């Protein structure tokens, strides 16, 4: 069975879409990423599309998705990529909070730095999964 990472931000229009794309570009074996938000925007932010196209990743056909209980139930790990009080709470066994600033209204150059931050964090998560360091499991007692 495929294990899932769920990337979450409020509108699912920039940060979570970018994180999903980076993860799925080179996922650990047996893993896939999805993304969603509790208040999905009508479309992916044009800046996100432009900046990811610079990296050879096409987000132009992606659509923001509504966060659902089913997505939470299926996720092995949830990553909250937003920052601030509007960030959603998710009911997933393993949750990481990345606290990434919203690049939607930033100048292109500043938004590019956010993309680089997301890429580095995704690369780290992928590496931790490959090494068996994520998700962190509670120790199993053997008798």
Catalytic residues: 9, 82, 87
Question: Which residue reads 């393993």 in tokens?
Answer: 94
| Nearby residues of 14 by Cβ (< 8 Å), 6 or more positions away | 44, 45, 47, 48, 102, 103, 104
Is 13 exposed, middle or buried (CB count within 10 Å of its CB: 0-12, 13-18, 19+)?
Answer: buried
């Amino acid at each position: 069975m495929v294990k899932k990472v769920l990337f979450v931000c409020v509108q699912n229009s920039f940060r979570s879409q970018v994180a999903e794309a980076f993860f799925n570009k080179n996922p650990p074996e047996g893993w896939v990423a999805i993304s969603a938000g509790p208040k999905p925007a009508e479309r992916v932010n044009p800046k996100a599309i432009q900046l990811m196209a610079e990296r050879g990743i096409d987000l132009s056909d992606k659509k923001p998705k509504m966060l659902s209980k089913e997505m939470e139930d299926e996720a092995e790990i949830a990553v909250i990529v937003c920052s601030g009080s509007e960030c959603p709470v998710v009911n997933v066994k393993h949750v990481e909070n990345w606290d990434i600033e919203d690049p939607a209204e930033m100048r292109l150059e500043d938004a590019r730095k956010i993309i680089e931050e997301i890429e580095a964090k995704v690369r780290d998560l992928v590496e931790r999964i490959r090494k068996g360091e994520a998700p962190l499991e509670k120790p199993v007692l053997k008798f």
